[in-house]
């Protein structure tokens, strides 16, 4: 369920507010990419970026282990604040982040003349189309 907007626009991935949407974009590199985690990778694959907040609900290692030296793990950030709410949401957000960046890189190879904004927006459109086609495949055919 998308509680952010009434549209199938992947607001839960890209953010529905301008400030968050800009934060989720990789503005340091060309290519229309989404921001990724700079500290950790999953066997070389991209992970969602961390929130950067000092205190958050995901940083519980010290309390659980009673080890004052344990390194806290911040929450991930995505377009939807519920990204860390349960173990099923985080990988879905991660998959959409990776797919956006994969599509953006492919579009850059095909269209080297495109600027950062065009690559980002076209990748976002393609992922939006994915989502709309997934919706048509659910339980019954709502596309008819």
Range of 99's domain?
Answer: 11-51+77-136
What is the overall mean pLDDT for the chain? 83
Structural domain contains residue 104: yes
Q: Which range (23-27, 29-33, 51-55) has the least confidence?
A: 51-55
Is there a domain that residue 37 lies in?
A: yes
Residue 72 is assigned to a structural domain of this protein: no
| Residue 57 located in a structural domain | no
Examine the pLDDT at 121 and tell me if it is beyond 70.
yes
In a domain, 63, yes or no: no
Instruction: Please report whether residue 103 resides in a domain.
Output: yes
Q: Give the highest mean pLDDT range of 25-39, 73-87, 128-142.
A: 25-39
pTM value > 0.85: no
> Is residue 113 included in any domain, yes or no?
yes
Average pLDDT for 121-134: 87
- If DSSP states are collapsed to H, E and C, what string results for 25-66? ECCCCCCCCECCCCCCCECCECCCCECCCCCCCCCCHHHHHC
| 2 in Cβ contact with 68 (< 8 Å) | no
Residue 99 lies in a domain: yes
What's the pLDDT band for 17 if we cut at 50, 70, 90?
confident
Residue 4: the pLDDT is 55
Total of domains in the chain: 1
């Amino acid at each position: 369920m998308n509680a952010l907007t009434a549209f199938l626009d992947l607001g839960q991935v890209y953010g529905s507010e301008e400030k968050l949407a800009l934060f989720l974009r990789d503005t340091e590199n060309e290519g229309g990419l989404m921001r990724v985690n700079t500290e950790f990778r999953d066997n070389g694959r991209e992970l969602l970026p961390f929130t950067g907040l000092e205190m958050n609900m995901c940083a519980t290692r010290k309390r659980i282990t009673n080890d004052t030296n344990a390194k806290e793990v911040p929450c991930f950030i995505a377009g939807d604040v519920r990204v860390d709410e349960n173990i099923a949401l985080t990988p879905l957000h991660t998959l959409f982040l990776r797919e956006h960046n994969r599509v953006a890189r492919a579009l850059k190879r095909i269209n080297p003349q495109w600027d950062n904004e065009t690559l980002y927006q076209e990748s976002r459109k393609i992922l939006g189309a994915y989502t709309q086609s997934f919706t048509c495949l659910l339980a019954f055919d709502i596309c008819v």
